Amino acid sequence: MQISATPTHCPYCALQCGMNLTPAPDGGVRVAERADFPVNRGALCGKGRTAPALLSSRVRLTSPLVRSQGRLTPASWEEALDRIAGALARARGEHGADACAVFGGGGLTNEKAYALGKFARVVLGTSQIDYNGRFCMSSAAAAGNAAFGLDRGLPFPLEDIPRTGCVILVGSNPAETMPPALRYFTELRDNGGTLIVVDPRRTRTAELADLHLAPRPGTDLALALGLLHLVVAEARTDEAYIRERTTGWQEARAAAMAHWPEYVERITGVPVPRLREAVRLFCAPESAMVLTARGPEQQAKGTDTVGAWINLCLATGRAGRPLSGYGCLTGQGNGQGGREHGQKADQLPGYRKLTDPAARRHVAEVWGVDPDGLPGPGRSAYELLDALGSDIRTLLLMGSNPVVSAPRAAHVEERLRSLDFLAVCDVVLSETAALADVVLPVTQWAEETGTTTNLEGRVVLRRRALTPPDGVRSDLEVLHDLAARLGVEKGFPTDPEEVFEELRRASAGGPADYSGITYRRLAEENGVFWPCPAPADSAPAPESGSGSGSEPGFEVHPGTPRLFLDRFATEDGRARFVPVTHRPSAEEPDEEYPVLLTTGRVVAQYQSGAQTRRVEELNAAAPGPFVELHPRLAARLGAAEGDPVAVVSRRGRAVAPARITAGIRPDTVFMPFHWPGEGRANTLTNPALDPTSRMPEFKVCAVRLERVREEPVNQERVNPEPVQPEPVQP
């Protein structure tokens, strides 16, 4: 047991809040304030405060499980690893390398994500690898790369938010999704700045706003275009900035001018006077920001939608300037670093493109393999899950629970069941792990050392504070042992610092250059922002502006907290306008399905709930799913508060208690997605994909409501038969 406090970071969202772990009388740890970390300054939400509850052997796995006669039973590590290696070898030998697939998670450390991507491509030789971070910010990443030549969640630190003049927060509810970040927006208002919130619900965050715009779900693209139209019509563009720092304005301007205010009002439901007020508030101060989250991004037109908000920033000169810019509020704990280092289908470490011959040569040299032997890009996350049981016969899954979190979840569950073999590494027996042929118990955040990258691009060091229970091994040990069984004896170390040293070399010279970051630096500093190249004699620095510390003479690069101040990361240094136009959602309401469903999170649960649903305090605050609906819609349905309501889409049916509130549009219902069983929101959601990012359309689909008579809500039932349905029109 530790004698003194161990400084580390929360295992949950992308803030990666700093915390101290101190010894507890029972031999475990307790969470204590860590005021020196600048992101949260000591503040923690309920999830962070209760995180040690998951370290208890009462709620987590401590022995490998193997399926025998239809049941999961304890087994030795040797038997479990032999079964997995044997299944992977058989699938590869009988059906080819791409019959083996790997699915990762946005909560894995950088070291694990790196090793997992290397394992897939070097040991298995498969192209079939992706991760659940595809469901997080892939649309924002695609739009950011198109406009700026580089994607990082926030191109500036959170500390800049209170000092800007105006923030437009689109489809984000930090009051519930990342509560310690809310102080930045309250401080913004305290400093005289203004906050505009775009959300079809009047959330706790929207309650704080100076202006709340409540568009119809799926119309964020039209809203952004309408605001840009007004910027042009009211002569609020920054012509000098457009001329000196951008390209493509005329085409983007023409596209925006086709979206006049009254037309946008008809599409979005946002009145023209409120559109004009938003433009006035955004353009009045010298600096302003647009921040997006899953609302506009989790759509089949998410890349174009984010691109329209970026165009608004560029047209007004609000990008690549102090206290101004576009940013994405990443959700998962390591969603940023998880894709930068190789577990995304089309990327290699350092945020390199898998199709780039120079990138393949560089990484192959670090790995000691032939670049021609590396597979090409594989399927995106949903496409990979959809292919399970067909040409993909075996799946190794780490740190994800797609039975609850994937769109069209009942179908994904069927595909998982159809596999020849499923292996899952997790800390708990999630709904997905319960389907596996082998389950491996792995270490948690407080039991291992590793790095993560938060939503600012700040790389931080999680430190080991506890010895894991007997019977538990790290993911790095799992990959080492599997690689050895599959004939690769070297290249998969179990020491996370040794893995990070290789990651540094693999990322050197890439867009996400970590080569100048070391464990020693991270232990001494409160994180280091990438890109952070090593000294010039060992690795070249990428051309992107830095807000501080970029002067010649620095022996050690200070990191890059602020991107694009001097130039953008494009070949000519200019940002690119991308012309976009509004189009309907993939699924619009009709007579059979007349209501819109949108989904999201609640403050006391996290992602699929696999971990937080095992914490008593969090379950007491948020015990189960619900259907949020407007009083007028509830009256037409004949439903009172707490009555069971069925929500039916073309993909399935979910039942949950009604929660009636005037804070949601009358044509829209909301469900949180943290629960399995009968109340599983993702039974309903639409897997229609964005053509660029391959992001599914979680945030909008057409549904109908049915009042459920004399049937209690049973969270264990996944697909119940309809009981006395009564369809309702909005």
Two tokens, residue 329: 């509020």
Q: Which of 26-40, 152-166, 257-271, 689-703 bottoms out in mean pLDDT, i.e. has the lowest?
A: 26-40
Q: Does domain 595-728 have CATH number 3.40.190.10?
A: no
| Contact predicate 645/660, CB 8 Å | no
State which H helix or E strand residue 635 sits in: helix 631-637
Question: Residue 318: how many CB atoms within 10 A of its CB?
Answer: 28
Superfamily classification of domain 139-328: Dimethylsulfoxide Reductase, domain 2 (3.40.228.10)
| Contact predicate 540/533, CB 8 Å | yes
Q: What is the CA radius of gyration of the chain?
A: 25
pLDDT at 325: 97
pLDDT at residue 391 is higher than 50: yes
Residue (of 123, 121, 115, 105) closest to 502 by Cα position = 115
Question: Residue 369: how many CB atoms within 10 A of its CB?
Answer: 18
What is the spatial order of strands in the sheet that 325-328 belongs to? 211-213, 194-198, 166-170, 289-292, 325-328
The pLDDT-based confidence of 26 (bands split at 50, 70, 90) is: confident
Tell me: the pLDDT tens digits for 596-620? 999 999 999 999 999 999 999 999 9
Residue ranges covered by each domain of the chain: 84-135+334-529, 139-328, 595-728
Q: What percent of the chain has pLDDT over 90?
A: 91
Say how far apart CA 252 and CA 63 lie, in whole Å: 57
pLDDT at residue 525 is higher than 60: yes
Tell me: the pLDDT tens digits for 413-448? 999 999 999 999 999 999 999 999 999 999 999 999
pLDDT at 2: 42
pTM of the model: 0.93
Average of per-residue pLDDT values in the chain? 93
| Distance between start and end Cα atoms, the chain | 59
Residue (of 622, 608, 601, 599) closest to 406 by Cα position = 608
For domain 84-135+334-529, give the CATH number: 3.40.50.740
Residue (of 81, 19, 72, 83) closest to 45 by Cα position = 19
CA atoms within 13 A of residue 229's CA, in its CB half-sphere: 24
Tell me: the pLDDT tens digits for 636-669? 999 999 999 999 999 999 999 999 999 999 999 9
Say how far apart CA 453 and CA 345 lie, in whole Å: 19
Q: Give, in order, the Cα–Cα distances in Å from 42 to each of 33, 156, 189, 258.
A: 5, 21, 21, 48
Say how far apart CA 159 and CA 562 lie, in whole Å: 11
pLDDT at 331: 81
pLDDT at residue 717 is higher than 70: no
